[in-house]
């Protein structure tokens, strides 16, 4: 979004800090300009440019920009960390000593120590100082948090300094938050025949496995598919703080020749091949030396957002997408990323034990939306990753700058919005479609066996073949039922058409059988 300054205008807030200190980081999602002739706000593609008239309280100095950001803007932790380091401790100490009761001075103090690990030469805050949040709950999704007595600030961030994505409150997220997904699911399965529900869920496990591999354009062996289904049935068994558990999970879903023994010790990326057999890099992941710390941060992030601390779908988006951007293995990262969605949704209690939302099926149906969700992060960070390609047989990507803040402090807002849509679609479509298919299938089966007492397996195949061909047995399949006369086939075809009339989902499901 263009935001060229006009005569008399200047940046304030985080954009001003970015420019003042020449920080090589993505621009903040909210850019504030003061000194405008007319106040106005432009919003597009998730970014906001707000123009304000000049006020005397908008000081044109680094502390003024910092104060404005802390008071009025959603926080970009990567910009805040870099700006505080560039600003230096002396300015923060001076501000806190001058205004020890100021909530914004103490928030700056808290963030300086939290983000840099440096303890400032300041006494603990007075017990009479008012308590305030680190992140404004009106602008961010936050945890209930714990009080930092030293600063009299509630640490309500989603993660720790090792890994702490942010999620901004948006109208779309607010709307999703008012919808209780667990209530939708309970209303759907209430009154369902337990045997029918069990059959539906059993198919959805298989569907999720097939779809998760399909996203990677892979067809798993029967053994690999079986092992992944078994892992999906017990997602809560994964200990996110255990490297060994992740390695064991990766081993179940990749070719044994490419099973990892631990976190990767090489630089990896995703992309294709350009002309001249040179790689075309789409996204570069963290340096190998940064992976262990990020994975420790992932476990702590999951612990902070677990349970009812924040909305389960938001928690699942944070953990699962953080993992895929860390990319700690050479292979299997995407499938584990989608497995983690189920892990968090089950651990949070949103998904009842034994039930599964086949989110990968939704992702397969609309790959463009899935790619757009991933690109909401990767497109912002990639211009700030300096890398080169080494030549020779062992050619590889080499990252030449410090990229850790890009992966530690990314904005996960679009990812949370996207995952809400996936979960809702799987409830409203995949669950309903499967229950509808099984209901129709049972009805057709009963009607068909009233005419010809066929074995269940053969009757089921007859129904499947008919549904795949518009209600008729194709000439190619006719020979599979040579024991039936032409009159019997015509009669049974009519039974299938009549019993399944108007059931689109049944036909769709049969075409994938």
Average pLDDT (490-504) is 78
Alpha carbon 501 to its chain's center: 39
Q: What is the pLDDT of residues 149-167, one digit of tens each?
A: 999 999 999 999 999 999 9
pLDDT given for residue 507 in this prediction: 44
- Considering only residues 223 and 243, tell me which one the structure prediction assigns the higher pLDDT: 243
pLDDT given for residue 119 in this prediction: 97
- Rounded-to-integer distance, Cα 507 and Cα 500, Å: 8
- Rounded-to-integer distance, Cα 222 and Cα 216, Å: 17
- Rounded-to-integer distance, Cα 298 and Cα 408, Å: 10
Q: Which single residue is written with the structure tokens 């995952």?
A: 419
Question: In sequence order, what are the residues at sequence separation of 6 or more whose Cβ sits closer than 8 angstroms to the Cβ of residue 176?
Answer: 311, 313, 417, 420, 424
Q: What is the pLDDT of residues 446-460, one digit of tens each?
A: 888 888 988 988 998
Q: At what angle do helices 89-98 and 77-87 cross, to 10 degrees?
A: 90
Alpha carbon 453 to its chain's center: 50
pLDDT given for residue 2 in this prediction: 62
- Rounded-to-integer distance, Cα 153 and Cα 147, Å: 6
pLDDT given for residue 393 in this prediction: 53
Q: Where are the alpha helices (DSSP H) in 306-399?
A: 312-326, 333-347, 359-365, 367-381
Helix, strand, or coil here: 181?
A: helix
pLDDT given for residue 512 in this prediction: 43
pLDDT given for residue 311 in this prediction: 92
Q: Looking at the predicted structure, is the pLDDT value of residue 317 above 80?
A: yes
Q: What is the pLDDT of residues 206-242, one digit of tens each?
A: 888 888 888 888 887 788 888 888 888 888 889 999 9
> Which of 78-87, 187-196, 429-438 is the most confident on average?
78-87
Neighbouring C-alpha atoms within 13 Å toward the C-beta of 19: 13
pLDDT, mean over the chain: 89
Q: Looking at the predicted structure, is the pLDDT value of residue 184 above 70?
A: yes
Q: What is the pLDDT of residues 365-408, one digit of tens each?
A: 999 999 999 999 999 999 999 998 887 555 688 999 999 999 99
- Rounded-to-integer distance, Cα 356 and Cα 283, Å: 30
Average pLDDT (33-39) is 90
Neighbouring C-alpha atoms within 13 Å toward the C-beta of 260: 21
Residue 43 β-bridge partners: 48
Q: Looking at the predicted structure, is the pLDDT value of residue 511 above 90?
A: no
Q: Looking at the predicted structure, is the pLDDT value of residue 116 above 50?
A: yes
Domain boundaries, given as residue ranges, for the chain: 10-87, 171-431, 452-512
String of DSSP letters for 378-426 = HHHHGGG--EEE--STT--EEE-S--HHHHHS-B-HHHHHHHHHHHHHI
- Could you tell me the pTM of the whole model? 0.88
- Considering only residues 413 and 449, tell me which one the structure prediction assigns the higher pLDDT: 413
Homologous superfamily of the 171-431 domain (CATH): Fido-like domain (1.10.3290.10)
pLDDT given for residue 505 in this prediction: 43
Question: In sequence order, what are the residues at sequence separation of 6 or more whose Cβ sits closer than 8 angstroms to the Cβ of residue 221?
Answer: none
User: Measuring CA to CA, how many Å separate 382 from each of 285, 378, 401, 486, 490?
Assistant: 9, 6, 12, 64, 61
């Amino acid at each position: 979004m263009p935001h060229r300054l006009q005569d008399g205008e200047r940046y304030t807030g985080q954009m001003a800090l970015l420019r003042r200190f020449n920080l090589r980081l993505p621009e903040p999602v909210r850019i504030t300009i003061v000194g405008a002739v007319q106040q106005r706000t432009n919003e597009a593609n998730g970014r906001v440019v707000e123009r304000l008239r000049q006020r005397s309280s908008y000081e044109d100095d680094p502390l003024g920009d910092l104060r404005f950001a802390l008071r009025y803007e959603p926080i970009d932790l990567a910009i805040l960390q870099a700006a505080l380091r560039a600003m230096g401790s002396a300015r923060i100490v001076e501000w806190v000593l001058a205004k020890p009761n100021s909530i914004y001075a103490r928030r700056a103090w808290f963030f300086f120590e939290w983000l840099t690990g440096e303890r400032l030469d300041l006494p603990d805050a007075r017990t009479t100082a008012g308590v305030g949040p680190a992140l404004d709950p009106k602008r961010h999704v936050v945890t209930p948090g714990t009080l930092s007595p030293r600063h009299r600030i509630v640490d309500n961030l989603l993660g720790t300094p090792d890994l702490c994505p942010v999620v901004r409150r948006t109208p779309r997220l607010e709307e999703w938050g008012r919808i209780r997904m667990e209530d939708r699911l309970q209303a759907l399965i209430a009154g369902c025949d337990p045997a029918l529900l069990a059959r539906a869920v059993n198919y959805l496990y298989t569907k999720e496995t097939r779809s998760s591999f399909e996203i990677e354009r892979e067809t798993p062996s029967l053994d690999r598919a079986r092992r992944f289904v078994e892992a999906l049935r017990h997602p809560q068994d994964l200990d996110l703080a255990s490297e060994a558990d992740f390695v064991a999970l990766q081993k179940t879903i990749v070719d044994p020749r490419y099973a990892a023994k631990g976190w990767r010790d090489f630089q990896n990326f995703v992309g294709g091949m350009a002309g001249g057999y040179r790689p075309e890099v789409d996204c570069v992941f963290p340096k190998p030396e940064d992976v262990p710390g990020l994975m420790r941060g992932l476990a702590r992030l999951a612990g902070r957002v677990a349970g009812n601390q924040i909305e389960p779908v938001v928690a699942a988006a944070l953990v699962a997408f953080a993992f895929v951007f860390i990319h700690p293995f050479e292979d299997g990262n995407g499938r584990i990323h989608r497995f983690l969605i189920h892990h968090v949704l089950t651990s949070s209690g949103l998904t009842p034990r034994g039930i599964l939302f086949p989110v990968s099926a939704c992702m397969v149906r609309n790959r463009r939306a899935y790619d757009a969700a991933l690109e909401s992060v990767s497109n912002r960070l990639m211009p700030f990753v300096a890398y080169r390609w080494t030549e020779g047989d062992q050619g590889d990507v080499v990252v030449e700058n410090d990229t850790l803040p890009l992966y530690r402090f990314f904005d996960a807002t679009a990812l949370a919005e996207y995952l809400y849509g996936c979960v809702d679609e799987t409830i409203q479509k995949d669950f309903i479609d499967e229950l509808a298919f099984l209901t129709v299938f049972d009805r057709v089966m009963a009607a068909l066996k009233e005419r010809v007492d066929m074995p269940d397996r053969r009757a089921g195949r007859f129904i499947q073949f008919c549904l795949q061909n518009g209600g008729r047995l194709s000439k190619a399949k006719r020979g599979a039922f040579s024991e039936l006369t032409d009159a019997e086939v015509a009669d049974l075809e009519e039974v299938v058409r009549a019993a399944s009339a108007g059931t689109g989902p049944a036909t769709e499901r049969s075409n994938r059988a």
